[in-house]
Structure 1
Amino acid sequence: MTKPQQQAGSPVRPFTVETPKDALDDLRRRLAATRWPSSELVGDRAQGVQLAAMRALHQYWATEYDGQRVASRLNALPQFTTEIDGVDIHFVHVESGHPDALPLIMTHGWPGSVIEMLDSVGPLTDPTTHGGAATDAFHLVLPSLPGYGFSGEPAEVGWDLVRTARAWSELMRRLGYDRYVAQGGDVGAGVTDAMGRLGPDGLAGIHTNLLVPALNDPASLPHATDAERAALAAIKTFQTSGNGYFVEMATRPQTIGYALLDSPVALAAWMIDHDTDAYDKIARAFVDGRPSGNLTRDHILDNVTTYWLTGTGASAARSYWEAYGPDSPSAGTPPLPPPRIPVGFSTFPGEIWRTPRSWAEACYPTLDYFGEAERGGHFAAWEEPELFAAELRAAFRPLR
């Protein structure tokens, strides 16, 4: 897959994904040469990604998966690149056919990419064919984070959440949107939270589906009710036994990067070992052929293959060092003030922890929407795009 090419005199440039045959041939050779570890010694994922799950994923990737799917899916949508602050930013930009659509910039996380957002494009831009009203429509901007997918890799340190948030506000200005809203999950929730706190001109409101401030000091949040205590316990469990990837990428991203660039199976294993709910659903899709919602084998491998063919495993890992690492330039900087614009939040039952409304209110004094979805987990837009779109419609409806 080719990276964006500079074109003089064109600040926003059309972009097309290309997948060379030799890149797919190399992927197949590396898959065939995989060296397998012995099986884990426990009956669950306590020691990491299970051998049966990885063998099933490997088998499908090597023998049935169509390596041109990423190019086909992305090239079916308008894509562009533009240089912002020294980095080429790739983005999908789908304008709604409804004239009063609200511009929305939506940010993916790790181990995600714009791939996880693609099936929400229809429900968000064309709501009348997906159970919504014309007045619910969005013009949709889906950027790839710096160092992820088809965006360029930063050549210097300093690309933390705040710098990315500023780049996104510049992107929306460059596209001519003088009033817009923003949404994000995972790392994208951190970027969106920073956008809300910066309050750039034109940003009318934000929505997230991961309560990022709760990770910083969960014990300071209310914990008198059963729901609050359950959320606190879930965060503690994640921080003690479920965040190995987080610690490694926040402190030694270059080290894990060697494996992620050299072995496709290592990359896939690293990416699916995120949280228990998502891992169980992904493993079940490959081992038993039973997807959870939209988390099908093909959709999962579209995301992994994007990382592999763009060679961005290491540069994406560095974004955790920038955002959360103790040695990053942003470490120890004072927190930004709370947003002064409306904030919406949606909680999904399979998230790492289920956020109580009281926590969202404590973190965001301007909270004006709190939704509780029936299904879905950490990758809500990917797993349940219709439910996810319905949450965004409800959250942003008062701002139209």
Structure 2
Amino acid sequence: MYKRNSARPQRLGVRLAATLCAASLMMASGHSFAGPGDAGDSTADRSQRQSASASPSEAIRPFKAHISDQALKDLRARLQATRWPDKETVDDSSQGVQLAKLQELVKHWETDYDWRKVEMKLNALPQFVTRIDGVEVQFIHVRSRHPNALPLILTHGWPGSPLEFIDAIGPLTDPTAFGGRPEDAFDVVIPAIPGHGFSSRPADLGWGPDRVARAWDVLMHRLGYTRYVAQGGDHGSVISDALARQKPQGLLGIHLNMPATVPPELVKGIHGGDEPPAGLPEAERTAYQTLSKFFARNAAYGAMMVTRPQTIGYGLNDSPAGLAAFMYEKITEWTYPSGNAEAVLGRERILDDISLYWLTNTASSSSRFYWENNNNNFSSAAQRTTEISVPVAITVFPGEIYRAPKSWAQRAYPTLYYFKEVDRGGHFAAWEQPQLFAQEMRSAFGPLRN
């Protein structure tokens, strides 16, 4: 997120608003961002043609976000009726989110927060839904006005959502308005993982990374793309890894901002809290110690979702204050600089994300993705990264859960062709630093365009 009260962020905000407004106006007038070979062809028109040629179950249908007034009223009533625990017995957040901090957030959520602004922002974008492998996949699809734009599918994680990428859409699809070149342009597809956001909640087993990856390839081809690239962090990294292992026709490469690079021989020691082996280079030693601390002190949320998502779901689905605490803790810890999430993202945007989980009733279903994946350890062996044969690019952001050393990345991903450490941003890279994120997409995927 850009710093507040600076001239440049305001100009960028105006540009992005203009870009999104233009998208909305073009949609309303029967025009939208044109994609490769489709100059002057609207996203809506093309989707209608695809739907006409597809079976009813494969149709791509327009989507608008709308939550009922009753659901919003129920949320406010639940927030007002929160039964608070005792205050923590420490002077910091070592026992979890501090009572006063969460009470302030919840009070604002109850009295001043406006969900309808999120709906307006989403509904200014081209949104669609289509049925893939038995689930309804909701997605944002923005085509660039520049010819030969490279199709890019962006995958969110937890506790993130498709909202992470909204501010990066402008720089990605309209680079000339944000300091880039026409040849840097992307067509952007942002789906919600099944069980998250406005995608439907799977009722059957098996919706782990591999199945989601297969669905993403179906989606990209259903949209008419014969070649594309994929990007992800958190769950998105795991899904992008799976997609790359599958190597579907047309996938040119992937970019990751939270890669699974931990060497197999170090996993046990990291989880056991052992001292780093002697002789590790400084970057590897730092990564080892960071991960060891993470698993010792901060990973209980993941262990619960990996092992008992249904049990934890009862509390998360019943108490918005409980859901807020569970998600806010990780948003705060993983935003760069750590503990300063509201200054970086803004309170409203944090509540946008938490509200999306609450209002779509996906706190429990999203937790099941951890159970399906059954892995929360950043292990290259667990993610079978050496089986990947398509080109791999990695950007390391300073506030990531751990900073992957280049030596580990090269060993984990034999086809690594791009690796860069940047000086801003954390776990929620696109959410925190949309301009920098877009620049990394241009740099990383540039060599794959031809």
1:223-260 Cα distance to aligned partner (Å, 9 max, x none): 72111100011111111111011000000001111111
Q: Output aligned runs, 1:173-212, within 5 Å.
A: 173-212=221-260
Name the SS of the counterpart of 2:101 in structure 1.
Answer: helix
Q: Deviations over 1:181-205 (max 9, x none)?
A: 0000001100001111111100000
The 3-state SS of whatever aligns with 2:89 is coil
* Change in CA separation of 1:247 and 1:10 when aligned onto 2, cut-off 3 Å: closer
Aligned residues: 383
1:317 aligns with 2:373: no
Paired amino acid for 2:285:
R
Larger radius of gyration: 2
Q: Cα distance 1:213–1:228, how it changes in 2: closer, same or farther (>3 A)? A: closer
* Alpha-carbon shift at residue 157 of structure 1 (Å): 0.8
Q: CA deviation at 1:279?
A: 6.4
Task: Write the letter of the residue equivalent to 2:294.
Answer: F
Q: Is the 8 A contact 1:243 1:274 kept in 2?
A: no
Answer whether contact 2:386 2:414 (CA < 8 A) is retained.
no
Aligned to 1:17: 65
Q: State the 1:338 CA deviation.
A: 2.3
Q: Closer, same or farther in 2 for the Cα pair 1:24/1:65, shift >3 Å?
A: same
Distance 1:268 1:80, change over 3 A: same
Q: Give the match for residue 349 of structure 1.
A: 398
Q: Which residue of 1 aligns with 2:129?
A: 81
- Residue 51 of structure 1 is matched in structure 2 by 99
Per-residue CA deviation, residues 318-366 of structure 1 (Å, 9 max, x unaligned), is: 110000169xxxxx99947522111100000011111111111111111
Aligned residue among 112, 115, 120 for 2:160? 112
Task: Classify the secondary structure of the residue corresponding to 2:94.
Answer: helix
Of the candidates 214, 220, 229, which is equivalent to residue 285 of structure 2? 229
Normalised TM-score (structure 1): 0.91
Instruction: Tell me the percent identity.
Output: 51
Aligned residue for 1:396?
445
Judging changes above 3 Å, is the alpha-carbon distance between structure 1 residues 142 and 218 closer, same or farther for their aligned structure 2 residues?
A: farther
Q: Does 1:369 align with 2:418?
A: yes
Separation (CA, whole Å) in 1 of partners of 2:348 and 2:264: 35
Instruction: Indicate conservation of the 8 Å contact 1:249/1:318, yes or no.
Output: yes
Relative to 1, partners in 2 of residues 1:85 and 1:194: Cα closer, same or farther, differing over 3 Å? same
- Counterpart of 1:329 in structure 2 is none
Q: Once the two structures are superposed, what CA deviation does each residue of 1:284-318 show, in whole Å capped at 9, x if it has no partner?
A: 455xxxx11xx111111111110111000000001
Question: For 1:81, what is the secondary structure of its paired residue?
Answer: strand
| 2:179 equivalent in structure 1 | 131
Pairing of 1:91-110 with structure 2 (within 5 A): 91-110=139-158
RMSD: 2.3
Contact 2:141/2:189 (CA < 8 Å) preserved in 1?
A: yes
Query: What amino acid sits opposite 1:274 in the alignment?
Result: K
Q: Larger deviation: 211-220 or 343-352?
A: 211-220
Alpha carbons of structure 1 residues 363 and 333: separation in structure 2 relative to 1, 3 Å: closer
SS at match of 1:214: coil
Query: For residues 13 and 214 of structure 1, what CA distance do their matches in structure 2 show?
Result: 41
Three-state SS of the structure 2 residue aligned to 1:82 is strand
TM-score, with normalisation over the residues of structure 2? 0.81
Structure 1 spans left out of the alignment, 5+ residues = 1-6, 327-331
Moved more, 7-16 or 185-194: 7-16
Greater Cα offset, 60-69 or 239-248: 60-69
- 2:137, 2:194 within 8 Å by CA — same for their partners in 1? yes
Q: Distance in 2 between matches of 1:50 and 1:334?
A: 35
Corresponding position of 2:198: 150
